[in-house]
Every structure is written in C-alpha cells, then in structure tokens.
C-alpha cells in the first residue's frame, strides 16, 4: 500500500502528485472498511477520509501513518482500547487527556475526534482483513525449550536465588502474557529500590527511593513521610532489586531468553 | 559587496531618522568573515554549531575553572502567548541561538524569535501556521548577510529580514503529504543554503539540497540512494523499488571544511526500518557519513556506519571536524559518535578510518569491522519474530543533541544512553513496508556523559547520571571552552564539568531539563553562556552582570 504512490523516488513532485491522487485519504482503507463494516455509507467514507487527514497531521508521527505503530507510539490497530471503543468514547478520552509522560493532550472539536476515531477503526478493520503481522504475539515468544529454560532458571541464570516457581512466581503466566511477561522477566522496571541513609547526626533511616541524582537523595519512610538530602551531606547505600537482572544481560544468549520465557509461561 | 551597500543604507537611515526608530530597524548583518572552520570571533555565534567544525569548543576563557562558582543567571526569556504545539505538547527550545550584532535568533517549530542579547527582551517574533508535517523539533535558523532562513514542519523554506522578522519569500522544499518534514537549522556555505529533511514514516528517499540565498531557487539536490540501477552504490540494493523507498534522511546540520571544499553530512536509517529482508545488501548511502562538494552536490567519499541497518540507527549525529598531529604528521580528521554505538575517527580528506570502536557496551549487533572500518552487521542480531537482544538501548546509543570536541584535552564528548533492548520482526513477508518491526525496552538504563580519546576511541572518563527518567539523566548538547569547562544538562540542572576529568565543578537548577546545545560569546566585554530549557532561554554571566 505504501508503495502505491511512490512511483519515482527521484522526482518528488511526480511522486507527490501520484500520492495525492492515490491515497492521501487512504481510499483503500475506506474500501476495506466498507467491506468490513457493511453499514459504511458515503458519509462514513467522507468522515474516514477527514479522519485520515487529521490523523496524518496529528497522530502519524508517533502511531504511523496507517495507525500501525511508528516512531514512538504503539500500533493502534492491535489496541485493546480501540477494540473496546464505540464511536470514539474511549479513544477520545485518551486523546483529550493524553497519557502522562507518553502522549500530550490534544484539543480537538468533537467532529475532528469522531473522524479520527472512524479512521482508526477503519484501519483496525483493514489490518484484521489483511491478516498482516503487526506486532509480537503471545505464540511468538514460545519458541524456546521449557526444560532448558527450567535448567537455566535453577542454574546458570541464578534466578532461583531470589525467585521461586511455586512462591513469588506462582501463576506469573496468568498475571502477565507475551511481551508484557518478557519485559517483566528481563527487567523489573517498577521494582522499588530501598535506601539506608546515615545522617550527619549518626541517625540511620531507611525507606523507598523516590529521587536519586547527582545532587539529591529523596526517600519515603515507612510512615509515608518524604525526606531528602543533598548527597554530599549523608552516607547511604541503595538496594536495587533490578540489579541482579541487569547483571544477566551481558551473559544472556537469545536462546537463554527464549528458553526462560518458555519455562515461565508454564507457571500458570 | 552587498553587505557594504546594506551598511551604508543603514548609515543613511541613522543620519535621517530619530535614533529610537533606527535602533529597532537597523539590520543585523552577518559578516561572512565570521564563518570559519575553527576560531570564530568571540563576539558572534554565527551558525548552529558556532563555527563550521561542529566542535562546539569556544576559546573564550573569561569564565573558567577558578571563577565558575560565580556564574549566575543574568536574564531569562520565557516564551509566552503560544499554546502547546499539536502532537508535541509543551514548548521545547531545541535550537542553538545565533548571536549577531547583539541579537539572538532562535526557534521552536513554527516560530522564530529575535531577542536582545543584552537584556533578554523580545525584538520581534515570526509566527507561522503550518498545514501538516511534524512539529517534534526545530534546531534553529541560518543567516546570510541580513537574511534569516527558517524551515517549517510542512517543508516551507522561508527567508526573513533580520531587522524586522518580515517575510521576504518562501519556497516549498519538502512535501509533507509524503511525510517529509523539516526541522533543521539551514547551513550557509558560500552562496549556498543547505537544507536537509526528515521523515521515515512512508519509505521515501532522503535528500539534501542547496538553495540560492537571494532567490531561494534550487541549486542542486543529492539523493541518499543511487538514482537508478547501474549507478555506483546500486549494487548494494536488490532492485530499483527497494532503492526508491530506502530512506536515509538528512535532518541534522552538517559541517564544512572550506579548504577541502567539502561538506560532511550524516544520513538517516534505512527503510523499511526493522524489516530488511526486502532490501538485501548494504543499502548505500543510508546510515552513512558522506562528503559532498557544496557547489555541485557531488559525492567525494562515504563511510557507512550501519550497513544494512535493521535497528533504526539514524546516522545523522554531527560529523565533528578537528585537526591534530598523529605520529608527527598533521592530520585533518572527522569524528562521530554514532547512534549505532560506534565511535568513528576518519581522515576527512578521503574517509579512511583511524578509529572504529564501540563507545557504550559491545555493540553486539555487529560482528566486528571490515577493512574500511565499517561495522559488519550480525544477521543473528537482526530483529527476529521471537526477539533478538541488542546491547544498545531503543533509540540508540546517542541521538541529535550536539557533542563537543576540545582541542585542549583532545577528547570527544557525547551524552550517551546505555542499556539493552530486544528487537522484534513483525512483518515476515518478502516485501515488507514501513516499520515492519519494533524495538522494545531500555533495560538496565544509564545516561552517561562519555569522554573519548580520539586517537584510540578509549573511554577516558565517564560520568553516569544517578537519576533517570522524569527529570533525571543527562540532557541536551555539550559545549567546551578554553576555560577548561564542559557545559551540559544533568538532572534538570545546567552543570559545568572539568573537561579533563569529568568532575562537576558547578551546577544550577533550571525550570526544566536543558533541551538544546549550550553556546557562548562575549558582548560588551562579558562572556555569556546561553542555554535553552523547555520554553525558557537563559543567559548566564559572572555575578549575573
């Protein structure tokens, strides 16, 4: 599809003309949408075309021009939220409020929002109809060998030093699946570090690290109070649970990762 | 000649009009003599990098290791009256301001600002309404005589009068409907305004072009792939279609050696981005450093940093020029810390390598280097359906923020991301398009300021920021000075390091993380350090005076 309008890379003008003629409003997407959703009317197609234009301007850099994922944003054609959305009720909420640290809020009219939602749904229908691979599926991460994964868990991987298949990791594969499970396995990003701080007075306090940089350490004590100090005024140690995971990276082969994943997926 | 005429016009105005009016209308004029390879005059910052070398080293010594503790904010200019930009949220200054005749010129997407360098008061502002394109960044303006050049998200190349900010003309240089966009600070070389473009959402060709500074008309275009099968380099592509969709964007300002009359440019990642099975071969000239003749756009030599890239390792990072004696012989060199995790030092007369070495971890996507010093990609570490672990973080080992080279220390400095990621192949068809895969994770993340020995590529020292995410980590570009200092952003502060050993000598909190490359110049006998952080530009001097 992407190729249709790119007849002549050397001549941007000619290519542009072809692009405008062919699919600036994604007519193929509309056709697919029309096929996938029998209720599509000329009004609906016009709305999808308008949504495509809005999407190209506001969303495509992050989510890709076909909503299939891009520079920084996820593939919307595989999004659970999009699946559950009805006429923009869920998409609109995310678009208008943004996602903290990930996506800015957008101030859109309800007509613009309707059109964008219609376009995203059309793209989702199209992706489904085409059956193209657009992401990592749960079964993609089941190529490993369970027995070797178990051996790695208990041996070379040193996982069993901190974890237990029947303890903290029991039912882990029910809690997380696929890529989400793999990411938790590789690096427990959200695990909180603990700090033990010796103050100039000699008093020792400990808590969960909230802030730590060149200049300051801030911790939350057991009673919920927050305290911070310039790092050059205190002595401290930090216990970071993800460090044991970090140490594995230089030693992992891809097969180790695949085997370990296969094993963890048996812990249901 | 033109400059002389403009000056005499300004003089005529001075004699005939009230003084106040003259002051606001007098054209700031860039003297071409200030455009140098090295050693630009202290009272001007005439290009994105200050000089043509991209070293971002200033010889000014007024602020130095002894008095750095007295550095204070003299003024702040906060952008007001502009709502958050569509698609990119809060306003962020990524541009390096030019400083000419006491006026600073800087940008955010769609807007140009002229601010009095002495007071921080706005002189004029140019507001543009785009019709598409991406607004994720704007690196600044270029200047030729009294004319300012500005590029918009939707590919307009606009010339403004530096005295008033009034538009002179505009030309279309990139088609936003093909997902091209322009963010670059135009580079002025003789009578050429050199413009690069971005955009890899649609598998289009990268190009670089030169325009006439007076008329804006096209002088030449250089395409990032050979135009047709049979042309040199086409043997690294399987067919014409793959070549026509190969990417290789040119979105950061390059550098220039006037004596060799060559411009040096980085080219971006190959397309389709992660799925390389439809474009077997090295895919020239994507992910390369290219040396071009600025008068003709003809290729003199190339060095490919990521042959057959399948990891989105945009090789646009600044090719920094410096001279040095090696084994008793004076050498003209070029260094780049590349997004693929390799540090390269090349002979800039011919592209032959002296150093080719990973600068973060092992760069395990490559099996080693070939006889030209180019990394050899490991097919085993290409993106796979079940994932392939790479010891470089998603987004690469470094990115657009400008690095620095100090001739004082003979070290090259770069803000780097360290960590691991897993690359997945989504599209397994024989003719994939678009991204076709993805990279996940910044595992075991670290953000480091790394000082590299240019003779060996060895890490001389490294400062790893303790905090990460949110406000933590290293941020923005790097400036080194004759005062033995290195300025960069660290954990939402502007920090000055000892450039010899990486010790933090001073820091000051900013309202947000430093977001551009710092610059410095002397005005009225005072050295100023200029930094942008979010929507605010800061000028710092000794004692804030």
Q: Is the dihedral of CA A15, A20, A21, A23 positive or negative?
A: positive
Residues 6+ apart with CB under 8 A from B383: B274, B275, B310, B311, B423, B424, B425, B437, B438, B439
Cα(B496)–Cα(B478) distance, integer angstroms: 10
Residues 6+ apart with CB under 8 A from B90: A104, B84, B534, B535
Query: Per-residue pLDDT tens for B180-213?
Result: 999 999 999 999 999 999 988 789 999 999 999 9
**Are B462 and B451 within 8 A, CB to CB?**
yes
When comparing pLDDT for B8 and A106, which is higher?
A: A106
Owner of token pair 């059109």: A115
Task: Compare all CA atoms of chain B with the CA of A20 and give the residue at the minimum distance.
Answer: B177
Nearest to A12 among B178, B228, B434 (CB): B178
**Which strand (E) or helix (H) includes residue B322?**
strand B320-326
Cα(B466)–Cα(A212) distance, integer angstroms: 6
Q: Give the residue among B316, B28, B115, B94 at the shortest CA–CA distance from B199.
A: B316
Task: Compare all CA atoms of chain B with the CA of A15 and give the residue at the minimum distance.
Answer: B178
Per-residue model confidence (pLDDT) at position A53? 87
Q: Is the dihedral of CA B468, B470, B471, B476 positive or negative?
A: positive
Q: What SS3 string covers B395-461?
A: CCCCCCCCCEEECCCCEEEEEEEEEEEEEEECCCCCCCCCCCEEEEEEEEEEEEEEEEECCCCCEEE
Q: Give the residue among B458, B476, B467 at the shortest CA–CA distance from B534.
A: B476
**Are B416 and B359 within 8 A, CB to CB?**
yes
Mutate to test the interface with A, among B85, B202, B471 (most CBs of A within 10 A): B202
Q: Which residues of chain B fall short of a pLDDT of 50?
A: 1-23
**Which strand (E) or helix (H) includes residue A22?**
helix A12-23
Per-residue model confidence (pLDDT) at position B403? 98
**Are B134 and B87 within 8 A, CB to CB?**
yes
B90 interfacial to chain A (CB closer than 8 Å):
yes
| Burial bucket for residue B408 (CB in 10 Å: 0-12, 13-18, 19+) | middle
Confidence of residue A241 (pLDDT cuts 50, 70, 90): confident
* Interface confidence: ipTM more than 0.90: no
Confidence of residue A9 (pLDDT cuts 50, 70, 90): very low
pTM, whole model, 2 decimals? 0.86
Name every chain B residue with its beta carbon within 8 A of the beta carbon of A108. Answer: none
Q: What distance in Å separates residue B394's CA from the closest CA in chain A?
A: 10
Query: Per-residue pLDDT tens for A158-173?
Result: 999 999 999 999 999 9
Strand partners, A220: A208, A226
Query: Per-residue pLDDT tens for A14-40?
Result: 332 222 222 222 222 323 333 344 456
Task: Compare all CA atoms of chain A with the CA of B427 and give the residue at the minimum distance.
Answer: A133
Describe the crossing of helices A254-264 and A146-154 by its angle, rounded to 10 degrees.
100
CB atoms < 10 A from the CB of B349, how many?
17
Query: Per-residue pLDDT tens for B15-38?
Result: 444 444 444 556 789 999 999 999
Name every chain A residue with its beta carbon within 8 A of the beta carbon of B87. Answer: 57-59, 61-62, 104, 106
Cα(B514)–Cα(B477) distance, integer angstroms: 8
Q: What distance in Å separates residue A170's CA from the closest CA in chain B?
A: 24
Residues 6+ apart with CB under 8 A from B472: A212, A213, B447, B465, B466, B491, B492
Nearest to B389 among A16, A62, A254 (CB): A254
Residue of B257, B287, B309, B312 marked catalytic: B312
Query: Per-residue pLDDT tens for B127-163?
Result: 999 988 888 899 999 999 999 999 999 999 999 999 9
Describe the crossing of helices A178-186 and A254-264 by its angle, rounded to 10 degrees.
120
Q: Please provide residue B262's backbone torsions phi and psi, each rounded to the nearest 5 degrees.
A: -135, 140
Query: Per-residue pLDDT tens for A171-193?
Result: 999 999 999 999 999 998 888 89
Cα(A200)–Cα(A211) distance, integer angstroms: 20
Q: What distance in Å separates residue B244's CA from the closest CA in chain A?
A: 5
Query: Per-residue pLDDT tens for B397-456?
Result: 999 999 999 999 999 999 999 999 999 999 998 888 888 898 988 898 899 999 999 999
């Amino acid at each position: 599809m992407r190729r249709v309008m790119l007849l002549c890379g050397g001549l941007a003008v000619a290519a542009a003309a072809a692009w405008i003629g062919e699919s600036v409003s994604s007519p193929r997407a509309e056709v697919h949408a029309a096929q996938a959703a029998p209720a599509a009317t000329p009004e609906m197609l016009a709305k999808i075309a308008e949504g495509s234009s809005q999407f190209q301007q506001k969303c495509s850099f992050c989510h890709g021009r076909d909503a299939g994922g891009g520079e920084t944003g996820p593939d919307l054609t595989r999004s659970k939220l999009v699946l559950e959305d009805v006429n923009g009720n869920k998409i609109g909420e995310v678009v208008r409020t943004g996602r903290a640290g990930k996506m800015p809020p957008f101030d859109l009219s309800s007509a613009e929002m309707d059109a964008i939602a219609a376009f995203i749904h059309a793209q989702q229908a199209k992706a489904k109809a085409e059956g193209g691979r657009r992401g990592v599926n749960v079964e993609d991460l089941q190529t490993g060998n369970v027995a070797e994964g178990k051996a790695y868990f208990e041996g070379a991987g040193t996982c069993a030093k901190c974890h237990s298949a029947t303890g903290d990791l029991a039912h882990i594969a029910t809690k997380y699946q696929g890529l989400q499970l793999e990411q938790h396995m590789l690096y427990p990003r959200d695990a909180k570090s603990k700090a033990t701080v010796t103050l100039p007075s000699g008093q020792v306090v400990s808590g969960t690290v909230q802030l730590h940089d060149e200049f300051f350490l801030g911790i939350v004590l057991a009673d919920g109070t927050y305290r911070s100090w310039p790092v050059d005024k205190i002595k401290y140690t930090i216990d970071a649970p993800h460090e044991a995971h970090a140490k594995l990276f230089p030693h992992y082969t891809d097969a180790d990762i695949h085997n370990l994943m296969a094993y963890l997926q048996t812990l249901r | 000649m033109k400059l002389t005429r403009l000056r005499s016009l300004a003089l005529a105005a001075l004699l005939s009009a009230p003084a106040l009016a003259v002051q606001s209308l007098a054209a700031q004029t860039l003297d071409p003599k200030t455009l140098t390879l090295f050693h630009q005059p202290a009272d001007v910052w005439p290009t994105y990098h200050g000089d043509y070398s991209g070293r971002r080293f200033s010889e000014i010594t007024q602020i130095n290791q002894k008095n750095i503790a007295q550095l204070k904010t003299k003024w702040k200019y906060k952008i007001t009256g502009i709502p958050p930009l569509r698609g990119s949220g809060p306003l962020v200054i990524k541009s390096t301001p030019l400083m000419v005749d006491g006026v600073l010129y800087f940008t955010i997407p769609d807007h140009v600002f002229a601010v009095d360098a002495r007071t921080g008061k706005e002189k004029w502002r140019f507001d543009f309404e785009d019709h598409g394109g991406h607004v994720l960044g704007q690196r600044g303006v270029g200047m030729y005589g009294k004319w300012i050049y500005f590029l918009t998200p939707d590919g307009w190349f606009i010339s403004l009068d530096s005295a008033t900010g009034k538009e002179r003309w505009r030309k279309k240089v990139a088609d936003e409907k093909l997902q091209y966009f322009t963010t670059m600070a135009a580079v002025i070389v003789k009578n050429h305004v050199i413009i690069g473009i971005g955009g890899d959402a649609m598998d289009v060709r990268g190009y670089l072009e030169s325009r006439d500074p007076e008329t804006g008309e096209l002088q030449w275009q250089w395409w990032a792939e050979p135009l047709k099968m049979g042309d040199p380099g086409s043997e690294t592509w399987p067919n014409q279609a793959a070549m026509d969709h190969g990417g290789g964007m040119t979105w950061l300002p390059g550098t220039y050696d006037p004596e060799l009359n060559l411009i040096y440019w980085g080219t971006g990642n190959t397309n389709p981005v992660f799925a390389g099975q439809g474009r077997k071969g090295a895919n020239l000239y994507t992910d390369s450093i290219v040396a071009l003749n600025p008068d003709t756009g003809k290729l003199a030599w190339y060095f490919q940093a990521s042959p057959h890239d399948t990891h989105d390792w945009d090789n646009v990072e600044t090719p920094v020029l410096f001279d040095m004696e090696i084994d008793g012989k004076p050498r003209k060199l070029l260094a780049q810390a590349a997004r693929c995790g390799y540090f390269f030092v090349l002979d800039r007369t011919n592209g032959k390598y002296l150093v080719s070495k990973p600068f973060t971890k092992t760069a395990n996507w490559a099996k080693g280097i070939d006889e030209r010093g180019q990394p050899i990609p490991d097919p085993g570490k290409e993106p796979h359906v079940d994932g392939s672990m790479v010891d470089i973080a998603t987004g690469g080992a470094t990115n657009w923020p400008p690095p620095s080279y100090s001739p004082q220390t003979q070290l090259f400095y770069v803000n780097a991301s360290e960590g691991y990621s897993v690359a997945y192949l989504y599209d397994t068809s024989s003719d994939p398009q678009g991204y076709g895969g993805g990279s996940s994770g910044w595992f075991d993340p670290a953000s480091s300021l790394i000082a590299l020995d240019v003779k060996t590529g060895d890490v001389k020292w490294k400062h790893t920021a303790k905090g990460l995410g949110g406000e933590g980590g290293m941020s923005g570009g790097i400036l080194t000075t004759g005062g033995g200092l290195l300025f960069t952003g660290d954990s939402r502060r502007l920090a000055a390091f000892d450039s010899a050993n990486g010790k933090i000598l001073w820091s000051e909190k900013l309202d947000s993380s430093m977001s551009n490359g710092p610059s410095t110049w002397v005005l009225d006998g005072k050295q100023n350090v200029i930094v942008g952080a979010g929507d605010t530009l800061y000028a710092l001097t000794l004692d804030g005076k």
